[in-house]
Chain A
Amino acid sequence: MSLLRLQNLTKKFGGLTAVDDVSFDTYQGEIVGLIGPNGAGKTTVFNLITGNYKPNSGDIVFDGRSIAGMPTHTIVSLGIARTFQTIRLFQQLSVLENALAGCHCRMHSGIFGGMFHTPAQKREEREALELAMAELTFLGLDKQADLAANSLSYGNQRLLEIARALTTKPRLLILDEPAGGMNEQETAALVQLIRKIRERGITVLLIEHDMGLVMEVCEKLVVIEYGIKIAEGAPAEIKENPRVIEAYLGTQDDE
């Protein structure tokens, strides 16, 4: 059974059909890349999966359960975490607190626990702190834990977004252009990182424009153009697919 199944997913913005009848499956432990030219509807697909948008028709099934139309925080608590295309960190807060944000949905204490610091609240807080520090260490950001998020370099801010997603203990991690703004070294490290995340048993779905990264790290690619899925398969097949080449480079007649 697939971990995430998109069934005939359609999203319209007024007269524009941003995502048109898209279906694909993501299986447990895969690294899947969603690619396509600019404006093809990739981020819209992500926003549909994470509940930022509600689909006009079609269904999204995660782990056997339909999640279409659920609020985002519920979807996160079910095990889908994401990063954003444009970095959306809590800029004024510390790196550690950004990572702690992800722990939130696995914690339970409320106003009373917060005011009186009950034993359960203290234990939970300690565990969250340990998890957040462990994830920051995993991404090599532990030494910067006390710094404000906006003082990190661009590449590290992207990593911190991943750390915040990982502290939600996801089963599926959705990365929206994780290599955006990274230099070559950072991108190479990112490839290793994505593999390490998969080794932890987390399925990865990513959008990326850096074809080198996509071809290297993904086992399966889904290609979208004008909101329509035009191809799906292994990177090697996709590279040879005439429709994909046409979408990216245009046909000879166009020249």
Chain B
Amino acid sequence: MIGRIPKRFFVYGVLTALLVSAPLHLNNYWLDVLNNVGLYVILGLSLNLIVGHSGLFNLGHAAFYAMGAYTAAILNTLFHIPILMLIPASALTAGIFALIIVRPIIHLRGDYLCIVTIGVGEIVRIALINDIFGITGGANGIFGISRPILFGMKISKPDEFFWLIWIFVAITVFLFYRLEQSRFGRALNYLREDEVAAEGSGINTAYYKLAAFVLGAAWAGMAGTIYAAKMMTIAPESFNFWESVLMFTLIIMGGSGSIPGVILGAFLIIGLPELFREFKDARMLVFGIAMVAMMIFRTGGILPPRPRKYPIDHAQEGSVNP
């Protein structure tokens, strides 16, 4: 029986157990690092729908992250709505924003789309700095966001945030994994492989491109809400181009279109630099070298996606190889 369970599931099990026991043996500093990693896992997975599964280059994902964070921050500070109740509102705002922005540019391909998304990211950041509509607080951002309260318990310490963030990660992983194994997930992959063939096979490619963007943006918006709750203060510089690059890089490095890959990528890109604080300045250099090496030796990332499994009858093959 044990032979039937792939070895990697034991590895996943051990790693999950280590993660779950982290609050017992890590100090607050390292828990906070883990919380950051968790946030980037959520962001990475949301961007993975767009970049990894659909093959649409998006280097402006921080804009959607910012939309979520600012929506939550503004509604919380102005109307005192509990921050966790604002998660759906943030998802909706970021999703609708993505719909409006991406609808006219969805026919763009590859690098053209990429350049427009960079532009969108910059426009959002600069609009926030310029205190658009007088509600974003300009370059200083928004202060005094209240702590989240869950089941009557106030979440403020890193170990409490650890559970909030990593449970959200677990839910995201579960839902996105199911989504991968469905008609929707397949449609995104067909789109990535060959758009003309996908359309010719009866797939509404424009719809799926848009759906990938909107869903990815909505999820990034939710991550933004958690970020706002965790930091209690947000500023435009937290959502700059570099953030988009980080999210993009962790996907490419970990494994484009692969959930374990994205999680590993987040640990490497966000977690690893904390281990080598002394060499912080060399971070760019190491990333650069690592990316070059990846492009040459392992183009699919460290953990590329595994093919989906389908319950089909292998009777004939089985009889050849009993």
- A117: CB under 8 A from chain B? yes
- A213: CB under 8 A from chain B? no
Q: Are A72 and B182 in contact (CB under 8 A)?
A: no
Binding-face segment, B31-39, B190-198, B234-242, B247-255: B190-198
When chains A and B are docked, how far (Å) is the Cα of A116 from the Cα of B176?
Answer: 10
When chains A and B are docked, how far (Å) is the Cα of A88 from the Cα of B201?
Answer: 10
Q: Are A111 and B215 in contact (CB under 8 A)?
A: yes
The chain A residue with its CB closest to the CB of B195 is: A88
A104 and B187 in contact, given A73-B199, A88-B196 (Cβ under 8 angstroms): yes
- A91: CB under 8 A from chain B? yes
Interface size class of A (residues with CB under 8 A): 35 or more
- A25: CB under 8 A from chain B? no
Q: Which of B163-206 contact A (CB under 8 A)?
A: 175-176, 178-179, 181-187, 189-190, 193-194, 196-205
- A226: CB under 8 A from chain B? no
When chains A and B are docked, how far (Å) is the Cα of A159 from the Cα of B203?
Answer: 20
Binding-face segment, B125-133, B262-270, B303-311: B303-311
**Distance in Å: Cβ of B265 to nearest Cβ of chain A:** 20
- A22: CB under 8 A from chain B? no
Q: Are B307 and A110 in contact (CB under 8 A)?
A: no
When chains A and B are docked, how far (Å) is the Cα of A50 from the Cα of B176?
Answer: 33
Q: Identify 7 new A-B residue pairs, CB closer than 8 A, beyond the known A81-B201, A145-B312.
A: A73-B204, A77-B202, A82-B200, A96-B312, A101-B190, A129-B310, A146-B312
Cβ of A96: which chain B residues have Cβ within 8 Å of it? 310, 312
A110 CB contact (under 8 Å) in B184, B197, B198: B184
- B278: CB under 8 A from chain A? no
Q: Are B182 and A114 in contact (CB under 8 A)?
A: yes
- B321: CB under 8 A from chain A? no
- A63: CB under 8 A from chain B? no
Q: Which of B134-188 contact A (CB under 8 A)?
A: 175-176, 178-179, 181-187
- A135: CB under 8 A from chain B? no
The chain B residue with its CB closest to the CB of A109 is: B183
Q: Which of A151-167 contact B (CB under 8 A)?
A: 164-165
B201 CB contact (under 8 Å) in A94, A102, A113, A124: A102
The chain A residue with its CB closest to the CB of B199 is: A72
Q: Are B185 and A114 in contact (CB under 8 A)?
A: yes
3 interchain residue pairs of minimum CB distance: A105-B202, A114-B182, A76-B202
Q: Are A104 and B179 in contact (CB under 8 A)?
A: no
A90 and B197 in contact, given A109-B184, A111-B184, A117-B178 (Cβ under 8 angstroms): yes
Interface size class of B (residues with CB under 8 A): 35 or more
Q: Are B179 and A76 in contact (CB under 8 A)?
A: no
**Distance in Å: Cβ of A235 to nearest Cβ of chain B:** 29
When chains A and B are docked, how far (Å) is the Cα of A146 from the Cα of B176?
Answer: 23
Q: Are A121 and B186 in contact (CB under 8 A)?
A: no
**Distance in Å: Cβ of A158 to nearest Cβ of chain B:** 14
B200 CB contact (under 8 Å) in A50, A100, A133: A50
When chains A and B are docked, how far (Å) is the Cα of A101 from the Cα of B307?
Answer: 15
The chain B residue with its CB closest to the CB of A164 is: B201
Among A52, A91, A115, A121: residue with most chain B CB under 10 A: A115
Q: Are B197 and A93 in contact (CB under 8 A)?
A: no
- B317: CB under 8 A from chain A? yes
- A67: CB under 8 A from chain B? no
- B113: CB under 8 A from chain A? no
Cβ of A124: which chain B residues have Cβ within 8 Å of it? 183
Cβ of B200: which chain A residues have Cβ within 8 Å of it? 50, 52, 72, 76, 82, 84, 88
